[in-house]
């Protein structure tokens, strides 16, 4: 489909763009807004004084300068989150810390994401995917989110931490409540639910860690957890609180994002016969197809930074303390960087999208996500060549995360 930028919003609508008060049609197609904003006001000041950036080059320059652009969220989150468990989580996980703490925490994750470690996960990923497709074959139908795109990533991250997969529904609910606390508008209810979820998650992880300590060699899974526990025992690298919050973060970061990537691309391919036909003819395109899915309909749409000093972006002065919203969807549709950005093109070359961010915080799980995508798409589309949508698709109402809640389908 090439719907994305065919109908950009008017300049008046773009000038009033406010993340805290978005129009109803934004969720289905935010790109119409980014298109006009990028053209008339790429460093857009919103009523609360923060800036919304839609130009690729501006995003890259912010990502690449952590000395000027801080990821630490203590200042932003304090007013809405207070001293809640939700605040504790979001200000302790590595993604919202700056060097040198960030550097120390990031090193602890490295071993889990080497090419060798990812390659070792491949047989397990293949087996999981085959299992979901066997179940669909028996039934003749499946919900491509509930029974597929959600199942795989949550199972893989559970494996990494040695968490029983029987807990995956609780993990999903907790993750949604915790990540819901990052939406542009926070209600008392979202704060309460998010904090409750952090507490539940901590209890669950304390049990898991205790079990792991008592049974250090209790199986192949849980290697990441063992490495983190070792670092905690070492005393200097990781506190107990940091250990718990990195585990929560990993479980959250590793699944909803990947679920959305899988679902967004499946939806695109099932509604775009031309591109799906190309993939069929040439299965080797699956890797560039995944990259295009990540660019075209990015699972994470927003990242944030705060200016540590007075600075400037594309000729606009930004005072110290200002918050900026990096529109990943905006950057990934910038015509200065991508030819025909509104076209979904699985053969696109030189696709340097920003779906995984860039710079020191670039997604630690990017090759795992890519591997899951490659295996999932290869098997799904080749095993069920007649796969088609069979009922109303439901989009997730989130602004920061873009995806679907339901994609009902028949396999023939
Ligand atoms: C398609 C799926 C995914 C997308 C689109 C995605 C996107 C991102 C983005 C944009 C960031 C940077 C945040 C920032 O700079 O503020 C990030 C960070 C991170 N992601 Fe992912 N991610 C995905 C999958 C995963 C998976 C599968 C894992 C692990 C199992 C993971 C683990 C992490 C970690 C640990 C960080 C923090 C890195 C740091 O702060 O140094 N992600 N991700």
363 CA → ligand 1 middle, Å:
3
Name 260's Cβ contacts closer than 8 Å, sequence gap at least 6: 149, 299, 396, 401, 402, 403, 404
Q: Is the CB of 264 under 6 A from ligand 1?
A: no
Q: Is the CB of 361 under 6 A from ligand 1?
A: yes
364 CA → ligand 1 middle, Å:
6
* Residue ranges of domains in the chain, CATH in brackets: 11-410 (1.10.630.10)
298 CA → ligand 1 middle, Å:
12
For residue 220, the model assigns a pLDDT of 61
pLDDT of 191 above 60? yes
Given the DSSP bridges, would you call strands 302-307 and 311-313 parallel, antiparallel or unpaired? unpaired
pLDDT tens figures, 299-357: 999 999 999 999 999 899 999 999 999 999 999 999 999 999 999 999 999 999 999 99
Which position has the higher pLDDT, 260 or 398? 260
Q: Is the CB of 108 under 6 A from ligand 1?
A: no
208 CA → ligand 1 middle, Å:
23
117 CA → ligand 1 middle, Å:
17
281: left (phi over 0), alpha (psi -120 to 50) or beta: alpha
Mean pLDDT over 2-19 rounds to: 83
Got the DSSP string for 72-135? Answer: --HHHHHHHHTT-HHHHHHHHSGGG--TTHHHHHHHHHHGGGSHHHHHHHHHHHHHHHHHHHHH
Pocket test for ligand 1, best of 253, 292, 367, 403 (most atoms within 8 A of CB): 253
Three-state DSSP state, 280:
helix
195 CA → ligand 1 middle, Å:
22
Burial 179-188 (b: 16+ CB within 10 A, else e): bbbbbbebee
Q: Is the CB of 364 under 6 A from ligand 1?
A: yes
Name 74's Cβ contacts closer than 8 Å, sequence gap at least 6: 91
pLDDT category of residue 185 using cuts at 50, 70 and 90: confident
What is the Cα–Cα distance from 412 to 375, expressed in whole angstroms?
Answer: 21
pLDDT tens figures, 354-396: 999 999 999 999 999 999 999 999 999 999 999 999 999 999 9
For residue 219, the model assigns a pLDDT of 55
pLDDT tens figures, 193-242: 999 999 999 999 999 999 888 887 655 667 788 888 888 877 777 888 99
């Amino acid at each position: 489909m090439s719907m994305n930028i065919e109908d950009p919003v008017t300049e008046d609508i773009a000038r009033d763009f406010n993340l805290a008060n978005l129009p109803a049609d934004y969720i289905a197609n935010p790109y119409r807004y980014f298109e006009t904003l990028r053209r008339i006001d790429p460093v857009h000041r919103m009523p609360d004084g923060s800036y919304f950036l839609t130009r690729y080059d501006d995003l890259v320059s912010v990502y690449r300068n952590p000395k000027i652009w801080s990821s630490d969220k203590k200042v932003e989150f304090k007013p809405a989150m207070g001293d809640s468990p939700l605040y504790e989580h979001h200000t302790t996980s590595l993604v919202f810390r700056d060097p040198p703490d960030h550097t120390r925490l990031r090193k602890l994750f490295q071993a889990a994401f080497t090419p060798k470690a990812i390659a070792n996960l491949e047989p397990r990923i293949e087996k999981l995917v085959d299992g979901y497709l066997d179940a669909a074959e028996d039934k003749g139908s499946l919900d491509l989110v509930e029974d597929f795109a959600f199942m795989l990533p949550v199972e893989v991250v559970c494996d990494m931490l040695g968490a029983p997969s029987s807990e995956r529904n609780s993990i999903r609910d907790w993750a949604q409540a915790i990540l819901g606390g990052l939406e542009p508008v926070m209600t008392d209810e979202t704060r309460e639910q998010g904090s409750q979820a952090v507490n539940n998650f901590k209890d669950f992880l304390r049990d898991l860690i205790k079990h792991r300590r008592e049974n250090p060699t209790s199986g192949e899974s849980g290697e990441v957890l063992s490495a983190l526990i070792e670092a905690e025992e070492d005393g200097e690298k990781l506190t107990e609180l940091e250990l718990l919050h990195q585990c929560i973060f990993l479980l959250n970061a590793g699944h909803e994002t990947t679920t959305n990537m899988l679902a967004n691309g499946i939806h695109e391919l099932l509604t775009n016969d031309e591109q799906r036909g190309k993939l069929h003819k040439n299965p080797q395109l699956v890797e560039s197809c995944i990259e295009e899915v990540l660019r075209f309909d990015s699972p994470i749409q927003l990242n944030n930074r705060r200016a540590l000093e007075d600075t400037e972006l594309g000729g606009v002065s930004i005072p110290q303390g200002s918050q900026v919203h990096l529109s990943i969807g905006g950057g990934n549709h910038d015509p200065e960087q991508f030819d025909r950005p509104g076209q979904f093109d699985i053969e696109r070359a030189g696709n340097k999208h920003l779906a995984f961010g860039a710079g020191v915080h670039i997604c630690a799980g990017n090759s795992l996500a890519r591997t899951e995508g490659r295996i999932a798409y290869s098997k799904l589309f080749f095993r069920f060549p007649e796969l088609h949508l069979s009922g109303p698709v439901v989009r997730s109402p989130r602004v920061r995360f873009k995806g679907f809640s339901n994609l009902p389908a028949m396999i023939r």
